């Protein structure tokens, strides 16, 4: 048990003490549970009889009966108005969902840099328990709860956190995570010893995968990984085989690299979807992940240049002894993956 746990426990004990010292009406049937989730959302479930709730909202007598629950959905505004949810004093407007079993759920996103959570429910006259994780406090009718500080991991990350995190994720998805992407980029690099063809291909590839990464994440395109993944493998084989046959940048090669870039973008999107994007910083995360991927590619090309090309590219043996065998290995790997990913 860590210190944080210990602190949480003693905090709970303190809350209980405070609660027993506070004033109390009769204990009613209402129960409230607040949850804060890892995806930076909150859910507050109010369990209470619909008849007395409707009586209070409609200012006319509603007798208990089955099927009253759906009527509450008509009073979303009043319910949201009665639920005072604050983070550090700032009130948030929750969404309201009426669930079966006499439950009304208030939910929404935890704001960035959220201060301690407080709760107040204006539609009860009796005392009730507010449960947050292992802690419970008794609230008297429309009293405000004691502030509940949220632990750091529950708060949405700040923009700088998101930038750092997704830049690293994008980078590590290439180096060392994505051997297939590394081989593709090396394939592009090995074509020519001149800067210009490499730069043209890298630019085409980058523009293409940025387009499909964004479009896939926003749900504008969707291609099954069962198609995308073998095609990515095939693209690796293609550029490597072409490296063996020519050292000139043919116009169609740029178009083909662009097309393959579209496929790789969908692959990146699949990974990014699995990692998840913070709702509060969706675009920031998308852009920085893409930038991280870019940096990863540049790192691959930069390393290859520094390790071999910068001193060996002018040597006569560079192409026959290095580019061709290396491309052959890359091509073989690409073909092997294509077959593997197809079956």
Partner 1 sequence: MKRIAVIVALAAQASIARAHDFWIEPSTFRPSTGQLITASLRVGQEFIGDPVPRNTQFIDSFTFRQASGEKEVVGMENRDPAGYLRVDSPGLTVIGYRSKANPLSLDAAKFEQFLKQEGLERISAIRAQRHETAKPDRENFYRFAKAVLRNGDGKGARFDQPFGYRFEIVPETDPTSNAPLRVRLLFEGKPLEGALVIAMHRDDPTARIQMRSDKSGRVKLDLPKNGVWLVKSVQMVAAPAGSNADWESMWASLTFER
Where on the chain is the footprint of partner 1 (CB under 8 A)? 22-30, 49, 52, 55-56, 59-61, 122, 124-126, 140-143
Per the rule left: phi > 0, alpha: psi between -120 and 50, beta: everything else, 54 is alpha
Please identify, using beta-carbon distances, which residue of 59 and 248 lies nearer to partner 1: 59
Please identify, using beta-carbon distances, which residue of 60 and 152 lies nearer to partner 1: 60
Please identify, using beta-carbon distances, which residue of 103 and 172 lies nearer to partner 1: 103
- Rounded CA-CA distance 19/147 in Å is 13
- Rounded CA-CA distance 48/58 in Å is 16
Please identify, using beta-carbon distances, which residue of 24 and 324 lies nearer to partner 1: 24
CB of 30 to partner 1, least distance (A): 7
User: CB of 341 within 8 A of CB of 231?
Assistant: no
Please identify, using beta-carbon distances, which residue of 69 and 284 lies nearer to partner 1: 69
- Rounded CA-CA distance 205/256 in Å is 9
CB of 9 to partner 1, least distance (A): 26
Contact residues for 101 (Cβ-Cβ < 8 A; gap 6+): 47
CB of 147 to partner 1, least distance (A): 18
3-state secondary structure 66-135: CCCHHHHHHHHHHHHHHEEEEECCEEECCEEEEECCCEEEEEEECCCCCCCEEEEECCCCCEEEEEECCE
CB of 23 to partner 1, least distance (A): 4
Please identify, using beta-carbon distances, which residue of 52 and 206 lies nearer to partner 1: 52
CA 52 vs CA 62, 124, 251: distances in Å: 7, 9, 75
Count of all residues that appear for the chain in the document: 343
Q: How many helices (H) and strands (E) does the chain have?
A: 12, 9
Edge-to-edge strand list for the sheet holding 41-47: 95-99, 103-109, 41-47, 27-36, 127-132, 135-140
CB of 51 to partner 1, least distance (A): 9
CB of 50 to partner 1, least distance (A): 12
Helix axes 251-275, 195-217, angle to 10 degrees: 40
Question: Which DSSP letter does residue 138 get?
Answer: E
Please identify, using beta-carbon distances, which residue of 141 and 204 lies nearer to partner 1: 141
CB of 58 to partner 1, least distance (A): 10
- Rounded CA-CA distance 179/80 in Å is 51
Please identify, using beta-carbon distances, which residue of 38 and 60 lies nearer to partner 1: 60
Question: Which DSSP letter does residue 32 get?
Answer: E
CB of 266 to partner 1, least distance (A): 55
């Amino acid at each position: 048990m860590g210190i944080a746990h210990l602190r949480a426990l003693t905090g709970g004990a303190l809350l209980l003490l405070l609660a027993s010292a506070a004033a109390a009406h009769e204990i009613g049937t209402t129960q409230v549970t607040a949850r804060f989730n890892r995806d930076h959302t909150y859910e507050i479930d109010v369990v209470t009889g619909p008849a007395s709730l409707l009586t209070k909202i409609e200012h006319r007598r509603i007798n208990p009966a089955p099927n009253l629950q759906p009527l509450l959905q008509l009073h979303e505004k009043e319910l949201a108005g009665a639920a005072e949810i604050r983070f550090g004093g700032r009130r948030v407007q929750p969404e309201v969902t009426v669930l079966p079993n006499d439950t009304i759920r208030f939910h929404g996103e935890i704001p960035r840099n959220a201060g301690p959570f407080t709760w107040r429910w204006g539609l009860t006259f009796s005392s009730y328990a507010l449960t947050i994780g292992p802690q419970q406090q008794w609230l008297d009718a429309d009293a405000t709860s004691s502030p509940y500080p949220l632990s750091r991991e529950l708060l949405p990350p700040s923009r700088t956190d998101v930038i750092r995190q997704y830049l690293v994720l994008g980078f590590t998805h290439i180096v060392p995570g994505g051997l297939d992407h590394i081989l593709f980029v090396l394939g592009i690099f090995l074509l020519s010893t001149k800067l210009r063809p490499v730069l043209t291909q890298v630019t085409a590839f980058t523009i293409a995968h940025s387009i499909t990464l964004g479009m896939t994440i926003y749900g504008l395109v969707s291609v099954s990984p069962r198609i995308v993944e073998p095609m990515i493998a095939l693209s690796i084989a293609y550029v490597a085989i072409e490296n063996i046959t020519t050292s000139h940048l043919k116009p169609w090669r740029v178009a083909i690299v662009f097309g393959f870039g579209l496929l790789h973008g969908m692959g990146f999107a699949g990974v990014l979807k699995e990692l998840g994007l913070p709702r509060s910083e969706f675009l920031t995360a998308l852009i920085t992940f893409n930038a991280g991927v870019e940096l990863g590619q540049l790192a691959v090309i930069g390393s290859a240049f520094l390790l071999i090309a910068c001193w060996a590219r002018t040597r006569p043996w560079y192409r026959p002894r290095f580019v061709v065998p290396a491309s052959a290995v890359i091509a073989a790997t690409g073909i092997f993956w294509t077959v593997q990913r197809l079956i």
